Structure 1
Amino acid sequence: MTTGRALWRRVPRWAVDAGLIAVAALDVWINLFGEATTFMWACAALGCAALLLRRRFPLAAVLLTLPMTLFMDVAVAPIAALYTLAVRTRNRPLLVGCALLNAAGGTLAWPLSDTLSGDQTWTLIQFVYALATAFAPVLCGQLVQARHDVARQLVEVEEAREHERALHAQSVLARERAQLAREMHDVVSHQVSLIAVQAGALQVAAKEPDARDAARTIRTLSVNTLDELRHMVTLLRASGGKETELTPQPTLAELQQLIANSGIETTLTGQLPPDISTTAQRTVYRTVQEALTNVRKHAPGARAEVRLWHDAHHFGVTVTNTAPTRPSVALPSARHGLIGLRERAELLDGTLTAESTQQGGYAIELRAPIRPA
């Protein structure tokens, strides 16, 4: 089945459209052969040609196929147009209305006086059958649309899982680094310090010059090793703990790259004071990062706006997104991201607000007092 689907996707769209129009024309020719007027042929030609518009203007294609249903029992062109409209729109009332129009066109006879003067019960039965025929492509199109949504959601879930796995791996690595830093500080550094002290005592107490030189060398190497160990402990704690952050951390210079790599249609406006601290820059960066991550997880298809701002006493960033254009998957969340952002804001004596907008989107705003770097 996978191979068949792959082969079908390789067929050019123009070839599919040409084949569909050919089948629709054959359907018209069978129904109109020997008893058609020029006007009927014109309506039939219009309906078949409308299939060329079904991908870009599906509603127009449906409306242009309606006149031909008044004169003939054609099925290919109206069904193809209804199916395409059902695949490409989420407006259920519109689909119901188009199906009703198609059923009415297939039931009414031209001229209309023939329909009104005929057996009304039989006309009603014909309408029910025509309505069922019209709803069949609509339901099939909605099923295909639902399948596409599920496939897209599965991809988004897998991306979210990959992101969670990466975060978990980073967390495990950070804990291991912090534990290693503690071990190096409490055990290795302590032992090297004792070696340096004992070498210094030996250097003072030794009588022979060679012994004093050896003790001096041991003490010097011990002191240098201790300095290296302290530097390594500092770096390990910076990458694995919460007390220090001496490893390279993102700042406002990387904000544009973060937005470009987010996969979300995002606009960046405004600017911040040039003299804010690196901690404040890092907090702004993390706020934007978490907000865009939430948009990607909970509002697929939405657009976002990142607005940097400041006044005489405060600075901040506001990240706003529109309503999602596609159904989102209900992913488990403990809201630790927002909790962490609020903690970062409190460290700056600021506040963080997160709330829904009237347009169905979401807004996150960081506000903090200006402090020189």
Structure 2
Amino acid sequence: MKYRPPSWVFDLAPVVLAALDTWLSARHATPVEFGTAAIASLALLLRRFFPLTVLAITVPSLVISQSVLPAVFALYTVALHHRNRWLLTGCGTVVALGYAIPWPPMLEVSHDDVLVGVIYAVMAAAAPIFLGRLRRTSTELASRLDEIEQAREHERLLIEQTTLARERTQLAREMHDVVSHQVSLIAVSAGALQVGAPDPGTKAAASTIRELSVTTLDELRHMVTLLRASGSGPTELTPQPTIAELDRLVETSGITAELHGELPADLGAPQQRAIYRTIQEALTNARKHAPGAKVKVHIGHSADRLAVTVENGRPTHPTVRLPSAQHGLVGLRERAELLGGTFEAGPTDSGGYRVHLRLPTGED
């Protein structure tokens, strides 16, 4: 891990540099020039909290005493904290004019001096803005890449757990439909043999086979229950897929999301899982593809229908396009169709994205 100096070092360094520049030029400065430069240097201590105000304080120093460093550091901070281009253009223009126009005004200035002054003024204003924007973009990109990596790891774990759950469900179905059926036939046949056997030995053997078959059926039912429930316990990444956990799912989604409405508490397990997985997938997609956007989750029901709508707005932070096969949305559509419902997903007119699920109220 690379060593990173504490934050107070970065806060104090511009103040020290500006104060050193003021002290070195103090022998040629008037009290007014020295005072404005000193005030501008000290104001840099507050540049992270009030960047625009500090920039306004440093401009008089730039005009009166030609102290450039305080205004440069203040303009850099403004570019770091604000992304409005018109605001940055205006601040840069003020700094450039303050640098280029001397005070008091000089009556006789050569063309070469004017040209050199304009060049230096543009550089003094443009350089801190470009560096501030570069630093802001770099920080946002690093944060976005970290979020994408976390989301991909989150999605990978979900895919693994979904695959395991599907395999367990398939195995449980095979055991229930095939093995249990055959053991039941054995128990019925043993019962018939026990009733119609001509001798006591055969009856006793048939009774034993029937009792063992019944015990085996109970064990199979228990194993099927365990297989279907295995892996569905609540964890940090995969909460229990029921509507009782929707509030926690929205709160821990890592984005700005709101949940509105309510659903009947006596919904069947298939409906609850479908609703939970739809909201979970929509929140994950919003986090990956619409960073900074607000998400609204609406749930409700009527006499014969359940409805879930998840809609996010336009992203407010830079997005990084990632390859996607849309398997998550395909799985949600298949799940809805198996339950006799419908699933729709697509962009909105405002530049966001909407997911809509409709299910019948009855259990499948």
TM-score normalised to the size of structure 1? 0.79
Give the alignment partner of residue 73 of structure 2, picking from 77, 80, 85.
80
Superposition deviation, residue 123 in structure 1: 1.3
* Matched letter for residue 69 of structure 2: V
Task: Give distance in 1, aligned partners of 2:125 and 2:317.
Answer: 26
With over 3 angstroms needed to count, the CA separation of the structure-2 counterparts of 1:320 and 1:326, relative to structure 1, is same
User: What is the aligned residue count?
Assistant: 355
Change in 2 beyond 3 A, CA 1:84/1:43: same
**16 and 168 in structure 1: CA distance in 2 versus 1, 3 angstrom threshold:** closer
Structure 2 counterpart of 1:118: 109
Alignment of 1:1-373 (within 5 A): 2-5=1-4, 8=5, 11-13=6-8, 16-38=10-32, 40-112=33-105, 114=106, 117-178=108-169, 180-181=171-172, 184=175, 188-189=179-180, 192=183, 196=187, 203=194, 205=197, 207=199, 209=201, 212-230=203-221, 232-233=223-224, 236=227, 250-272=241-263, 279-309=270-300, 316-346=307-337, 347-350=339-342, 352-358=344-350, 360-367=351-358
Preserved CA contact (<8 Å) 2:80 2:133 = yes
Task: Compute the RMSD of aligned alpha carbons.
Answer: 3.6
- Distance in 2 separating the partners of 1:324 and 1:46: 41
Listed one character per residue, the Cα deviations across residues 241-279 of structure 1 (whole Å, up to 9, x for unaligned) are xxxxxxx97332221121122122222233345676655
Q: Deviations 1:113-146 (Å, cap 9, x if unpaired)? A: x1x6311332122221232233333332222222
User: Hey, what's the Cα distance between the residues in 2 that align with 1:288 and 1:182?
Assistant: 27
Q: 1:371 to 1:208 in 2, by over 3 A?
A: closer
Query: Is the alpha carbon distance of 1:178 and 1:272 closer, same or farther for their aligned partners in structure 2, counting shifts above 3 Å?
Result: closer
Q: Would you say the 8 A contact 1:268–1:305 is kept in 2?
A: yes
Structure 1 residues 318-340: Cα deviation after superposition (integer angstroms, max 9, x where no partner):
32323323212212222233334
Distance in 2, matches of 1:249 and 1:41, equals: 67
- 2:307, 2:177 → 1: CA distance? 41
Residues 235, 292 of structure 1: alpha-carbon distance in 2 compared, 3 angstrom cutoff: same
Q: Name the % identity.
A: 50
Q: SS state of the match for residue 33, structure 1?
A: helix
159 and 28 in structure 1: CA distance in 2 versus 1, 3 angstrom threshold = same
Deviations 1:9-40 (A, max 9, x none): xx253x543443233122122224243143x2
Report the Cα offset of residue 106 of structure 1.
Answer: 1.6
Q: Is the 8 A contact 1:341 1:352 kept in 2?
A: no
Letter aligned with residue 207 of structure 1? D
Q: Check conservation: 2:307, 2:356, Cα contact below 8 A.
A: yes
- The 3-state SS of whatever aligns with 1:3 is coil
Tell me if structure 2 keeps the 8 A contact 1:357–1:363.
Answer: no
Using the TM superposition, give the Cα deviation of residue 66 of structure 1 relative to its aligned residue in structure 2, in angstroms. 1.5
Structure 1 residue 225 displacement after superposition? 0.3
Q: Aligned-pair distance for 1:313?
A: 7.0
Q: 1:179 & 1:12 partners in 2: Cα distance?
A: 55
Q: What one-letter code is carried by the residue in structure 1 that aligns with 2:308?
A: V
Q: 1:187 to 1:322 in 2, by over 3 A?
A: closer
> Structure 1 residues 76, 120: closer, same or farther in 2, change over 3 A?
same
- 2-side partners of 1:372 and 1:192: how far apart? 29
Structure 1: which 5+ residue stretches go unaligned?
A: 241-247
Alpha-carbon separation, structure 1, partners of 2:266 and 2:312 = 28
Q: Which amino acid aligns with 1:36?
A: T
- The code of the aligned residue for 2:56 comes to L
The answer to whether the 8 A contact 2:37-2:67 is kept is: no
Provide the secondary structure at the position in 2 that maps to 1:352: strand
